[in-house]
Structure 1
Amino acid sequence: MENTSVNEGKTAAIISHFWIVGLVIAFIMNMNKKNYFASFYIRQMIGLNIIQFLNGAIILKFFGSSASYIIGAITFVLWIISLIGAFKGEEKEVPVVGEHFQNWFRNI
């Protein structure tokens, strides 16, 4: 990827990592001038936010707090991996599910 594309999208990519509010802000920032690097991380964070939502809505309710804590810890580690990749300017998919996020949300 071209270095200017990374530099232009890096701010939106990093902002997308900060909860739903940051994701919405990054999405709005990326609407007018689509940046592939920012879109990559927006897709990653949509997926991680969905996992986190499902963890609270389904896993906690049906499997209990221990299972929810484990899923939450794994999601946090994936979030850290993604955030470090955004800071470094690398397209770093989160392990196991990152490729799926890129395919499922490819229109973003």
Structure 2
Amino acid sequence: MNKKNLSILSYITIIGWIVAFVKSKDLNPKSDLVTYHLKQGLGIFLVSFAVNIILSIIVMTVTSLYFLNYIGYAIFILWIFGIINAVNQQKKPIPIIGKMFENQFGFIN
């Protein structure tokens, strides 16, 4: 797989992320683009997972706050931005939350 495909795959579910992570170890020389998108992909997955758990608890306890479920659509849009950046082979952070993950996840390097 080339670096563009691995970058895109890093956003497609956690299984796609794992495949991209394992395959990125085979790249010689190491690709900064793939590493960057692996960090962004893992970050958006973790944020989405945490937000969904928190929102589920909130909406189950206070049903009148059901409109908070629309936050999931916002995360979906951010995920699409990440895929677009990977397709264009750009190392741009995901809007709003991407900067948090640029220097995190040291095991990916």
- Is the Cα contact below 8 Å between 1:9 and 1:36 reproduced in 2? no
Give the % identical residues.
27
With normalisation by structure 1, the TM-score equals: 0.82
TM-score, structure 2 normalization: 0.81
Name the CA distance, whole Å, in 1 between partners of 2:24 and 2:10: 10
SS in 2 for 1:104: coil
Q: Which residue of 2 aligns with 1:46?
A: 42
Q: 1:106 to 1:99 in 2, by over 3 A?
A: farther
Offset of residue 92 of structure 1: 1.7
Partner of 2:62: none
Mapped to 1, the partners of 2:76 and 2:21 lie a distance apart of 21
Residue segments in structure 1 that go unaligned for 5+ positions in a row: 1-7
Query: Which aligned segments of 4 or more residues in structure 1 are displaced greater than 6 angstroms?
Result: none
Computing the radius of gyration from Cα coordinates, the structure with the larger value is 2
Q: How many aligned positions are there?
A: 101
Q: Which has the higher contact order (CA 8 A, sep 6+)?
A: 2
1:105 positional shift: 2.0
How far, CA to CA, are the matches of 1:80 and 1:41 in structure 2? 13
